[in-house]
């Protein structure tokens, strides 16, 4: 007895599968599937290429939104060191008590954004909260942006540089520290620089681009 060749078997199987599963109307599938709705659902499901597109990412660098300073990720990485990039652009947090400005209490001067040099806080805004991070009760007018962060019991308010969108830390209100605004701006030391020049504070309302 002579058996058919493998190519012949494959062609026959391909013809059978195309005829059975693609050409047969849903109404004629009752014998194969007791519920024709399932067959209809299967026929309308997306293909694998479509599913794959959900996990794809664009290779084009993304720009930050609605800020005077616009840089893509590569430009920020070239400008900032690894830790600055992690905190300022990836919203990281430095370990408590490790920042160089935690116990820094000058009588005058201004703290600026490490990403764009925009003045953020005056020395007179700083106070000792004991939290392990630099704390300020107020900011230079228009220098920061507040943004909801998290939901429910973990909800906080993030603070960003209004000039470049860099992550600074979080703001907490109503903690009764006795400062004029009853606020605590908990800021990462890595996100800021300090200048002793009072002239910088005078120009604080004009962020650099």
Where does 75-204 show beta strands of DSSP type E? 110-113, 119-122, 126-127, 135-136, 144-149, 156-161, 167-173, 183-187, 192-195
Residue 186 catalytic?
A: yes
Distance CA 192, CA 206 (A): 17
Contact assessment for residue 133 and residue 169, using Cβ atoms and an 8 Å cutoff: yes
Distance CA 150, CA 138 (A): 23
Residues serving a catalytic function are 186
């Amino acid at each position: 007895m002579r058996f058919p060749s493998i190519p012949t078997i494959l062609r026959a199987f391909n013809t059978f599968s195309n005829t059975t599963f693609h050409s047969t109307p849903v109404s004629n599938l009752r014998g194969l599937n007791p519920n024709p709705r399932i067959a209809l659902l299967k026929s309308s499901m997306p293909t694998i290429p479509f599913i794959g597109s959900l996990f794809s990412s664009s290779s084009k660098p993304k720009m930050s939104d609605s800020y005077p300073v616009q840089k893509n990720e590569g430009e920020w990485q070239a400008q900032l060191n690894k830790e600055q990039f992690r905190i300022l652009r990836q919203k990281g947090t430095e370990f408590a008590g490790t920042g160089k400005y935690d116990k820094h209490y000058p009588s005058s001067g201004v703290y600026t954004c490490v990403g764009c040099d925009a003045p953020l806080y005056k020395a007179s805004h700083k106070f000792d909260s004991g939290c392990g991070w630099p704390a300020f009760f107020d900011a230079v007018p228009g220098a920061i942006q507040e943004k909801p962060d998290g939901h429910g019991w973990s909800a906080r308010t993030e603070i960003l540089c209004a000039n470049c969108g860099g992550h600074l830390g979080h703001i907490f209100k109503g903690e009764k520290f006795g400062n004029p605004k009853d606020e605590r701006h908990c800021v990462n030391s890595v996100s800021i620089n300090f200048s002793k020049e009072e002239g910088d504070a005078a120009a604080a309302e004009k962020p650099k681009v």
